[in-house]
Structure 1
Amino acid sequence: MCAKAYCVQAESTPACKCGGVLMGEEKMFQPYFLEQMVNMMHAPFYIFADQKEMIQKFGGREIETILFEKNPELVQNAFSKKNKEYPVILTDKVLVFAVFDSGMAEGAIMIAGPVTIGRLSQETLLQLRREYKLGRKSGYTPPVCPLDKFVSGILLLHWHLTGQKLTSAELWQKNQRYYSATVNIQNRISQDIFMRQENAGLHNPYEQELRELDSIERGDTEALKRSISETYEGEIGILAKDPLRSHKNVAVGNITLASRAAIRGGISVEKSFSMADSFIQQVEEIDNVPEVEAFKRESQYFYARLVNEENTRGGEKQNVRKNPLIGQVKDYIFNHLHDTIQVSDIAAHMQVNPDYLSHLFSSQEKMTITSYIRQEKVRRGENLLKYSDYRVQEIAFYLGFCSQSHFARVFQQIVGISPNEYRKKFGNRKKWKMK
């Protein structure tokens, strides 16, 4: 350990090269903490002296050291953006960094990263290696850290360094000054509104959108069809310069709004969100505008049909306003469909009395919790029989049934035919996309 009290030096690191630069005087920093941050965030951490020389690293690979050496502008940019009050989040192409100056010794900074917030395609990786002078054969692949986890790690480290607590909202608000898009937001909005008023005319009426969402919330596919078919003078907004990208962006917005309307209509939050994730991913795979439009509309109909099915028991529409606990029960079941689910487990998770929960659910859903569990497991089984090649035995165990015969018996009771008959009748042997 360096003689200066504020130096950080991992046990495996050679003697300190600068005499200690990490923390201010009378502060001790434990390398153990940064080592655990590396494990948590999958991000390397580097300490740079005021001469912009790397003097410490945690979790960093040799290839990342080479990246900084061959691209000194990255470190120069970090030093130019350092701020004593809060961490600064920087991006360079697809790489993301965080710069820490607060809590550091005079003239020193810490850089967290580089990471990417999602996995990169092979084409992007090759381009990245070329642009950072690493060579096509270097094999460099940045570590992946989702943005929310990266931000949480940054906030935790800032607190550890300074004792100051920041929220994620405060962090982004303070970082706005470093992003040209946020700095210029008001000017760009004024320009875009002016150009639209001059060239594009009016948007579609807001009331029409409300009618669409209300139809989904009520599970009324006929009303949804009428709303979609309305004629009006307005136009769909232009959300990107490329027409395909613009229509995809509109579809993403419509699907997101439909998922929220479905939740208001009684669909489980987790189920609705998971469906939206799937729908949006499928939109991204489409390569032409007409198919995007057709898929967007079918997604809306899908939600409306699901709401109608969810809220219709015994052929009668249920109009009772549901207790919020009902949604929590459905969320729990949706997240544990692959397990053996007991009512007592749900009640314990929600910290309510099992008998009260059972009575509440039965009175509002017109079926017992156990029956609902079976119904949802069979629904998932139908999808697997339609769209996967799993054997019936595999599906039975996948859904938490004790045996294939038990699954077949419950399936027959609910659907009316056996799993094998169902697959012969409806199976298409294609990769399944829904639910």
Structure 2
Amino acid sequence: MLKNQWSKKEIEDSEYEIHHRALSEEYSFFEAVKDGNIEAVSKNLKEEAFTNPEGMGILSKNPLTNLKYHFVITVALVTRYCIDGGMETEQAYRLSDFYIIHMDACSTIQEISDLHHEMALDFTGKMRLLQKNTALSKPVAQCIDYIYAHISARITVEDLAVCTNLSASYLSRLFKQNLGVSISDYIREKKIEKAQNLLRFSDFTYIQIANYLSFSSQSHFIQTFQHYVGMTPKQYRSSKYKSTW
């Protein structure tokens, strides 16, 4: 039965000249993400290639469901390309799960398109940082990994000194030489990046986010967020948040 259906579909596809995109186009996109090539990925996203129906395979007759299936495939391939490029496996899979879960809650094609752009740039940005980190000293690379894994905790220079088996003063100087920012500033930047994701893709309250990221108080969180982002968490959520909850 299925063989008959497949034979019929082959004939229909040939009659209507249904073709998929050239593999070279897809490979170039995934390679750009893997290489941390923000410029090439941004160019691809501006062309709206992901939502262009020309060359898009039909996995469902429902346009929204069809795009959701393609989103999952794209994230899966991006994840594997990035792992191949050196991204830590667990980090890549957690990031993949994060975006697929939020895609599942999308109710419009535009929401999926926006999330696809966010996902692609997020993976690309992390790969660019990874490429940069290959030139870093081992202790600084260890610090970056530790900060990523413990972003919700209160991280101190002393914690990182123990992790790297270096004195706090020497590690601080080494970190500043490698990245151009202090350890404390880097930690705050990463916490604010996490806060931005939570504000966009969750319904956590401001106090919940402040507590989760171990800020001393809600007011401290708001003050720090405004310093780095240029607007308050409330203003940021109002401009970015798409309620699908």
What corresponds to 1:283 in structure 2? 103
Distance 2:216 2:128 in 1: 30
In angstroms, what is the RMSD of aligned CA positions? 4.7
The counterpart of 1:300, out of the listed 96, 113, 116, is 116
> For each residue in 1:55-81, what CA deviation from the matched residue of structure 2 results, as whole angstroms up to 9, or x when unmatched?
xxxxxxxxxxxxxxxxxxxxxxxxxxx
Distance 1:404 1:209 in 2: 44
What corresponds to 1:214 in structure 2? 31
State the one-letter code of the partner of 1:283.
M
| Deviation, structure 1 residue 252 | 0.4
The 8 Å contact of residues 375 and 414 in structure 1, kept in 2 or not, is answered as: yes
What corresponds to 1:35 in structure 2? none
1:248 aligned onto 2:58: no
What corresponds to 2:190 in structure 1? 376
The 8 Å contact of residues 259 and 273 in structure 1, kept in 2 or not, is answered as: yes
The 8 Å contact of residues 248 and 284 in structure 1, kept in 2 or not, is answered as: yes
Distance 2:151 2:133 in 1: 26
Give 1 or 2 for the bigger CA radius of gyration: 1
What corresponds to 1:51 in structure 2? none
Distance 1:369 1:211 in 2: 36
1:367 aligned onto 2:181: yes
What corresponds to 1:425 in structure 2? 235
What corresponds to 1:390 in structure 2? 205
Q: Do the aligned partners of residues 262 and 203 (structure 1) sit closer, same or farther apart at CA in structure 2, a change above 3 Å counting?
A: same
1:258 aligned onto 2:78: yes
Structure 2: which 5+ residue stretches go unaligned?
A: none
From the two aligned structures, give the one with the greater helix fraction.
2
What corresponds to 1:322 in structure 2? 134
> For each residue in 1:28-85, what CA deviation from the matched residue of structure 2 results, as whole angstroms up to 9, or x when unmatched?
xxxxxxxxxxxxxxxxxxxxxxxxxxxxxxxxxxxxxxxxxxxxxxxxxxxxxxxxxx
State the one-letter code of the partner of 2:228.
I
Distance 2:213 2:97 in 1: 22
Q: Do the aligned partners of residues 259 and 365 (structure 1) sit closer, same or farther apart at CA in structure 2, a change above 3 Å counting?
A: farther
Correspondence 1:330-341 to 2 at 5 A: 330-341=144-155
Q: Do the aligned partners of residues 311 and 215 (structure 1) sit closer, same or farther apart at CA in structure 2, a change above 3 Å counting?
A: closer
The 8 Å contact of residues 71 and 116 in structure 2, kept in 1 or not, is answered as: no
1:237 aligned onto 2:57: yes
TM-score (norm 2): 0.63
What corresponds to 1:402 in structure 2? 216
SS in 2 for 1:200: helix
Distance 1:303 1:230 in 2: 14
What corresponds to 2:156 in structure 1? 342
Q: Do the aligned partners of residues 311 and 286 (structure 1) sit closer, same or farther apart at CA in structure 2, a change above 3 Å counting?
A: closer
| Deviation, structure 1 residue 374 | 0.9
Correspondence 1:5-44 to 2 at 5 A: none
Identity %: 26
**Count of residue correspondences:** 229
Distance 1:411 1:231 in 2: 36
1:203 aligned onto 2:20: yes
Structure 1: which 5+ residue stretches go unaligned?
A: 1-187
Q: Do the aligned partners of residues 385 and 235 (structure 1) sit closer, same or farther apart at CA in structure 2, a change above 3 Å counting?
A: closer
State the one-letter code of the partner of 2:24.
E
SS in 2 for 1:427: helix
From the two aligned structures, give the one with the greater strand fraction.
1
Q: Do the aligned partners of residues 191 and 297 (structure 1) sit closer, same or farther apart at CA in structure 2, a change above 3 Å counting?
A: farther
> For each residue in 1:364-412, what CA deviation from the matched residue of structure 2 results, as whole angstroms up to 9, or x when unmatched?
54434432211111223345566646244x5433321234454455435
Q: Do the aligned partners of residues 229 and 297 (structure 1) sit closer, same or farther apart at CA in structure 2, a change above 3 Å counting?
A: closer
| Deviation, structure 1 residue 341 | 1.3
State the one-letter code of the partner of 1:253.
I
The 8 Å contact of residues 338 and 399 in structure 1, kept in 2 or not, is answered as: yes
Distance 1:278 1:218 in 2: 22
> Which structure has the higher relative contact order (CA within 8 Å, separation 6+)?
2
> For each residue in 1:308-351, what CA deviation from the matched residue of structure 2 results, as whole angstroms up to 9, or x when unmatched?
766889xxxx97462596776445323322211134535655xx
